[in-house]
Structure 1
Amino acid sequence: MNEAERTLKEKLTGVWKLVNYQVTDSRGVSNHPMGKDASGIAIYHEDGYMSVQIMSSRRLAYAAGGIHTGPTKAVAAAAKGYLAYSGTYEIDSGKSMVEHYMTVSLNPNWEGDTQPRYVQFEGDRLIINSQPVFIQGQEKNTQLIWERADSSSKNEG
């Protein structure tokens, strides 16, 4: 690993709290897929492992209270309001990019997938942009803004 990659990895390593998750189409129209008050955590470990968890604050608890049981509609709604994947990552400092290699994912289509993300830092904030993707025939860009977590925020939801 060269010096630039080491520096980028050192900046990236740690725990991040979600500040904003939005998708913008080619006309400039933005939306928040998990709501403006979505919460999430991203973890980048120095050994090259990463995990991202994002959820909507509007998810409802299952009436029965079970961890894996609930009416099919309730389980589907809970999954729709949650994005999760974990695996390994590699840095490409020349492109200011991190590549996520998804070992596990709530979305089965992402299992075994590689997804490049452009990264930049502004103070204690990490800004991640995806490459443009086509959703329902329209080009869209995803941006996530994360803030470095610290020990005083461990019990915040």
Structure 2
Amino acid sequence: MANTLRERLIGAWMLVSYIEKPVDSSDPFYPMSEKPMGIIMYTPDGYMSAQLMHPDRRSFASGDWFDGTDEEYKQEASTYIAYSGPFHVDEEKQSLTHSMFVSLFPNWTGQTQPRVVKIEGDLLHLSTATPIVSNGKEVNSFLTWRRG
């Protein structure tokens, strides 16, 4: 049985919920809908990959990913989050960081972001450790994943 936080993270997790709560106490929102789709994976050799999307994404009319309209590209990028890279666990502090080697959002490429992590049975709860800017507001993100 896995004992360390790192050992318990290893594997694939399916996205259950993703909510963003503004620090100004305004209404929370669901950037990928109330029924988001996604997978986060942690590998034994220390890498992770997160892919999240809105379930109702529209196909490009051309069928060619290099031949979309401006609106199709905007929709494509605003309904998907993707990044991958090394992850690090501090067992003593029970903390986790994600390092973005690649990211759909170019501003995150090269960043290392701390996560608040809690595992309860087959559920993984991740949240931002500090606020991020999303949809024009400073927010904290809260995600729940179920072991795949």
- TM-score, length of structure 2 as denominator length: 0.90
Taking the aligned partners of 2:55 and 2:100, their CA distance within structure 1 comes to: 24
Question: 2:21 aligned with 1:7, yes or no?
Answer: no
Using the TM superposition, give the Cα deviation of residue 129 of structure 1 relative to its aligned residue in structure 2, in angstroms.
1.1
Residue aligning to 2:96: 98
Q: Percent identity?
A: 40
More displaced stretch, 40-49 vs 85-94: 85-94
Gaps of 5+ in 1: 1-5, 150-157
DSSP-derived class of the 2:86 partner: strand
Alignment partner of 2:102: what SS? Answer: strand
Partner AA of 1:20 in structure 2? S
Separation of aligned partners in 1, 2:114 and 2:30: 21
Q: TM-score, normalised by structure 1?
A: 0.85
Question: Which of 80, 83, 91 is equivalent to 1:82?
Answer: 80
CA shift at 1:70, angstroms? 1.1
Partners of 1:134 and 1:100 lie apart in 2 by 14
The count of aligned residue pairs is 144
Q: What stretches of structure 2 of length at least 5 have no aligned partner?
A: none
Match of 2:29 among 28, 31, 44: 31
Q: Which structure features the higher share of helix residues?
A: 1
Structure 1 residue 69 displacement after superposition = 2.0
Q: Which residue of 1 aligns with 2:140?
A: 141
Letter in 2 for 1:11: R
User: How far 1:139 moved relative to its partner?
Assistant: 4.2
Q: Paired residue for 2:16?
A: 19
Answer yes or no: is the 8 Å Cα contact 1:95–1:118 preserved in 2.
no
